[in-house]
A and B are shown apart, each in its own frame.
Chain A
Amino acid sequence: MLRLERRRQSSRIMFWTTPLIAVALTLIIGGILFAILGVNPFAAMKIIFLDPFFHETYGPYSRTQFLVKAVPLILIATGLSVGFRAGIWNIGAEGQFVMGAIAGAAVGLALYPAEGWWVLPLMAIVGALGGFLWAMIPAILKIKFNANEILVSLMLVYVSYNFLAAMVTGPLKNPDGFGFPDSRNFTDVEATTLPLLYEPLGLYTSGVVALIIVIAAYILMEKHLLGFQVKVTGQSPRAAKFSGVKPALIIAMCLGLSGALAGLAGLFEVTGPAGKLTTNFPVGYGFTAIIVAFLGRLHPIGIIIAGLLMALTYIGGELAQLVLNLPAPAIQVFQGIMLFSILAVEVFINYRLVWKKEAV
């Protein structure tokens, strides 16, 4: 008889191997899914995981999308992971991403066609601020009225979508755009263009910023009092109060930080890969980043790996749609299986599987 038995001490080994087991499970279940759809699962996996880099025809294009996708995921997931470790569930990073992009873009458009090295940093700061303020709405509602931040932040995503639509058809519409619902293209002016550092992999300056932020987040969580307080709050709210943590401060910090990083990611997106604001601007990075945060075990280093992996499934998934005619939802299901597997195998950190004969 197979049984789960509680471990006395949480397993360190399992803590780091569960993501690998989860990926393996995803491959198996995903493979079955593809087989049911009438596609050779091995071919599908090869296309998703290898062809984006190595395929002769598609590879050179696919590769350039790799870090374009990975960097915003890593940036957003890093912020989210801090909150998740405090038990504060910001599900609305997508909205903060959009609002950050709008706020930063508005500054860029107001200054148009200003030239100068300071324009982009200013836009980045305002972009982060936009995401920060948008995240303050659930934060303040939670602090003042104990409103559920999951619902509030999620609903604000849809508010932000509509706000974006209003902006690109109204105040932020390109005056020279023949009435199309989009803003000016920021990459037309050097001062508002996010510098591309290494094109073959799609590395923009944002990648460097993301790396610095991941390191800073690591130091915050592992070496700093605030990170300690975040962890205590998440694991044992009463012990946190006993130690003197102010819950309001942690809520504001966690939502604010994740909002600011999502906003920054939004601004990088609009000044880089996307180039301009349109109604199609949000592509779900804010939601996918939730998966990335968990896949990376809410740990900064893990998140980098998870972000790269998730980006790969994105571009590999697109390739699979193109080559194998797989429907787009199949790829989303595939990504969903990954999150599901992570959550399922997490039980092995605190439990072990034992094979037991009936006790005499």
Chain B
Amino acid sequence: MSALLEIKSLSKAYPGVQANDSVSFEIQPGEIHALLGENGAGKSTLVKMIYGLVRPDSGEMLLHGQHFAPSKPGEARAAGVAMVFQHFSLFEAMSVAENITLGMEDAPARTELSAQIRKVSAEYGLPLDPDRLIGDLSVGERQRVEIVRCLLQNPKLLIMDEPTSVLTPQEVNTLFTTLRKLSTEGVAILYISHKLDEIKALCNSATILRGGKVVGTCVPENETARSMAEMMIGGELAMPAARDFQPGETLLELSGLSLPSLDPFGTSLKDITVTLRAGEILGVGGVAGNGQDELLLTLSGEIPVAPDMVRLKGEAIGNLGPVARRKRGLLAAPEERLGHAAVPEMSLTENAFLSGRVRNGLANRGFIQAKKRDAFADDIVKQFDVRTPSISNQAKSLSGGNLQKFVIGREVLQNPSVLVVNQPTWGVDAAAAAAIRQALRDMAEAGAAVMVISQDLDELMEMSDTFSVLAEGHLSAPQPAAGLSVEEIGLMMGATHKEAENA
């Protein structure tokens, strides 16, 4: 059998980093091929070269044995290569069909396209109504739009970048069924994920990248998640030790926390009541778009609410802004690293100052204490193993995992009483994720309370003492996390979702 796509010693260098160093591998027709690697291992660069977004410095690609060098995504699509990105490119105020039209060269007439969408989506078990607004769709449904958009072009190779990071376990199963069906029809799939269990369940073969080089290949079925993780990081993976949970005094109390939706497609928070005790890690599960961002913003103080809705050590602080809350010990780390938790164009030192000013006294009567600020940034970089040439580098020059370590480290090193984090390890490689989780656990051990909002159930199960689900703006009553299985939680999420919809 001749290979569908053959990659021969592709190399690509960016200033200061060799993103890909003579990478070679093959994908057969109908193969589901996993691309594994830590953040910064060069996976994104590699798929961008295949999809025509980045030009390789050297090396060659063969598609169906023919020379293949797409200079733009349109050429790649014409050759039968499609890609579903981690971040969707959809307009919320437009319908499914309108969004799909936008991505097509010479799109057919609207009625014909709608019929095609219905047909293709039904065929692959991804039901979609072409006339619904994107803004009304769940994240899982939005992803379907992206997939159907690709399928309409009859691709020979489908590239998927972290497709399951936003899905419920049930939605993941549906997706996998679709992908397997595509594979039996001869479509090859290049699958990028950090979730090694999924790769084990789905993929026929895997190529492992480290530092821009291929360091191994394997058949995921014959490996354990742990052995693959170790290949990725090139060392032993530290597994967390079980933790003895002894709740202390109540630190954070939310009572009747409600917030009307801020934008037409947002979710309002409805009567959230929960307490966090010293030493407790509360895991908040649920699919993105169910009020996670809103919850973080009301806790960080970016959106003030009625004073009584948020109490810290008994004090009503709901109406206070971020600075006053930090002073009192309530800290937060938002999900979006670039543009929310950190300023992309600013240096790490300035970003350390961004949230560290108040508690660490980095300004004296308004004047910035440069030495203290730099020392603080230095501390974060050293203690959290943030890999950067220097603390004066811009935040945007760091890889996602390194910047996330910086953001979490910045909050942890301020010794908060309560820390709220949203998606602490989103898009972060296994080693960095383990380090971040360990740091949060150590903090709880030392007597702080931590709220982890995440869509990664494995992560929540690994970390949480108590667990609840945020769905449609409702927060379920927390239960002890020990003893809950991932399946049970998945059902819990689905159930809350349904109830809320019927209500």
Binding site for B on A (CB under 8 A): 7-10, 223-226, 228, 231-232, 235-236, 238-239, 241-244, 246, 356, 358-360
B62 to chain A, nearest CB (A): 12
Q: Which residues of B contact A10 (CB under 8 A)?
A: 345, 394
User: Chain A: which residue is nearest B325 at the CB level?
Assistant: A244
The 5 closest A-B pairs by CB, nearest first: A244-B323, A244-B322, A236-B343, A359-B55, A225-B366
Question: Bound complex: CA of A31 vs CA of B457, how far in Å?
Answer: 66
Whether A235 lies near B69 (C-beta < 8 A) is: no
A225-B357, A226-B366 known; A8+B342 contact, CB < 8 A: no
- Binary contact track B11-34/A, C-beta < 8 Å → 1, others 0: 000111100000000000000000
B380 to chain A, nearest CB (A): 16
A193 to chain B, nearest CB (A): 37
**CB-CB contacts below 8 Å: B328-366 with A:** 332, 334, 336, 339-346, 350, 353-355, 357-358, 363, 366
Question: Bound complex: CA of A236 vs CA of B323, how far in Å?
Answer: 18
Whether A224 lies near B366 (C-beta < 8 A) is: yes
User: Chain A: which residue is nearest B351 at the CB level?
Assistant: A239
30 A–B pairs (Cβ distance < 8 Å), ordered by A: A7-B15, A8-B14, A8-B16, A223-B368, A223-B370, A224-B366, A225-B363, A225-B366, A232-B343, A232-B346, A232-B354, A235-B344, A238-B336, A239-B340, A239-B341, A242-B334, A242-B340, A242-B341, A243-B322, A243-B357, A244-B323, A246-B321, A356-B55, A358-B69, A359-B56, A359-B57, A360-B58, A360-B59, A360-B60, A360-B69
Question: Bound complex: CA of A232 vs CA of B355, how far in Å?
Answer: 12
Whether B302 lies near A239 (C-beta < 8 A) is: no
Q: Which residues of B contact A8 (CB under 8 A)?
A: 14-17, 397
Number of interface residues of B (CB under 8 A): 44
Question: Bound complex: CA of A241 vs CA of B293, how far in Å?
Answer: 14
B391 to chain A, nearest CB (A): 13
Whether B363 lies near A243 (C-beta < 8 A) is: no
Whether B342 lies near A239 (C-beta < 8 A) is: yes
Whether A242 lies near B322 (C-beta < 8 A) is: yes
Question: Bound complex: CA of A82 vs CA of B302, how far in Å?
Answer: 24
Question: Bound complex: CA of A290 vs CA of B149, how far in Å?
Answer: 46
User: Chain A: which residue is nearest B17 at the CB level?
Assistant: A8
Question: Bound complex: CA of A9 vs CA of B339, how far in Å?
Answer: 16
- Partner of B344 from the list A7, A236, A242 (CB cut-off 8 Å) is A236
A10-B394, A360-B69 known; A235+B346 contact, CB < 8 A: yes
Question: Bound complex: CA of A9 vs CA of B366, how far in Å?
Answer: 29
Question: Bound complex: CA of A9 vs CA of B323, how far in Å?
Answer: 30
User: Chain A: which residue is nearest B342 at the CB level?
Assistant: A239
Question: Bound complex: CA of A9 vs CA of B341, how far in Å?
Answer: 19
Q: Which residues of A contact B58 (CB under 8 A)?
A: 360
User: Chain B: which residue is nearest A226 at the CB level?
Assistant: B366
A8-B397, A224-B367 known; A236+B339 contact, CB < 8 A: yes
Q: Which residues of A contact B69 (CB under 8 A)?
A: 358-360
A9-B15, A9-B393 known; A244+B326 contact, CB < 8 A: yes
The interface centre, meaning the residue of B16, B69, B354 with most chain A CB atoms within 10 A of its CB, is B354
Whether B354 lies near A235 (C-beta < 8 A) is: no
Q: Which residues of A contact B367 (CB under 8 A)?
A: 223-225
Question: Bound complex: CA of A235 vs CA of B343, how far in Å?
Answer: 7
- Partner of B355 from the list A223, A243, A358 (CB cut-off 8 Å) is A243
**CB-CB contacts below 8 Å: B219-240 with A:** none
Q: Which residues of A contact B302 (CB under 8 A)?
A: 241-242
Question: Bound complex: CA of A148 vs CA of B354, how far in Å?
Answer: 27
Q: Which residues of B contact A7 (CB under 8 A)?
A: 15
**CB-CB contacts below 8 Å: B284-332 with A:** 300-302, 321-323, 326, 332
User: Chain B: which residue is nearest A232 at the CB level?
Assistant: B343
B300 to chain A, nearest CB (A): 6
Question: Bound complex: CA of A231 vs CA of B350, how far in Å?
Answer: 10
- Binary contact track B42-74/A, C-beta < 8 Å → 1, others 0: 000000000000011111100000000101000
Question: Bound complex: CA of A107 vs CA of B357, how far in Å?
Answer: 44
Question: Bound complex: CA of A9 vs CA of B15, how far in Å?
Answer: 9
Whether B340 lies near A238 (C-beta < 8 A) is: yes
A357 to chain B, nearest CB (A): 10
Q: Which residues of B contact A228 (CB under 8 A)?
A: 350, 353, 368
Question: Bound complex: CA of A226 vs CA of B363, how far in Å?
Answer: 11
A97 to chain B, nearest CB (A): 29
Question: Bound complex: CA of A246 vs CA of B302, how far in Å?
Answer: 10
User: Chain B: which residue is nearest A350 at the CB level?
Assistant: B345
Question: Bound complex: CA of A246 vs CA of B368, how far in Å?
Answer: 18
Whether A242 lies near B354 (C-beta < 8 A) is: yes
User: Chain A: which residue is nearest B368 at the CB level?
Assistant: A223
User: Chain A: which residue is nearest B350 at the CB level?
Assistant: A228
Question: Bound complex: CA of A10 vs CA of B363, how far in Å?
Answer: 27
B276 to chain A, nearest CB (A): 21
Whether A244 lies near B343 (C-beta < 8 A) is: no
Question: Bound complex: CA of A236 vs CA of B341, how far in Å?
Answer: 10
Q: Which residues of A contact B332 (CB under 8 A)?
A: 242
Q: Which residues of B contact A359 (CB under 8 A)?
A: 55-57, 69, 71
- Partner of B300 from the list A226, A236, A242 (CB cut-off 8 Å) is A242
Whether B353 lies near A244 (C-beta < 8 A) is: no
User: Chain B: which residue is nearest A241 at the CB level?
Assistant: B302
A227 to chain B, nearest CB (A): 9
Whether A238 lies near B339 (C-beta < 8 A) is: yes
Question: Bound complex: CA of A359 vs CA of B50, how far in Å?
Answer: 13
Question: Bound complex: CA of A8 vs CA of B14, how far in Å?
Answer: 8
Question: Bound complex: CA of A327 vs CA of B388, how far in Å?
Answer: 56
B92 to chain A, nearest CB (A): 18
Q: Which residues of A contact B363 (CB under 8 A)?
A: 225
Whether B354 lies near A239 (C-beta < 8 A) is: yes
B19 to chain A, nearest CB (A): 10
B417 to chain A, nearest CB (A): 18
A123 to chain B, nearest CB (A): 30
Question: Bound complex: CA of A238 vs CA of B59, how far in Å?
Answer: 41
Q: Which residues of B contact A358 (CB under 8 A)?
A: 69
A360 to chain B, nearest CB (A): 6
User: Chain B: which residue is nearest A243 at the CB level?
Assistant: B354
User: Chain A: which residue is nearest B347 at the CB level?
Assistant: A9
Whether A244 lies near B345 (C-beta < 8 A) is: no
Taking A224-B367, A236-B340, A244-B301 as known contacts, 15 extra A-B pairs with beta carbons closer than 8 A to each other, sorted by chain A number, are: A8-B16, A8-B397, A224-B368, A225-B368, A232-B354, A235-B344, A238-B340, A239-B343, A242-B340, A243-B322, A243-B354, A246-B321, A359-B57, A360-B59, A360-B69
Q: Which residues of A contact B341 (CB under 8 A)?
A: 239, 242
A82 to chain B, nearest CB (A): 15
Question: Bound complex: CA of A241 vs CA of B341, how far in Å?
Answer: 10
Q: Which residues of A contact B334 (CB under 8 A)?
A: 242
A120 to chain B, nearest CB (A): 31
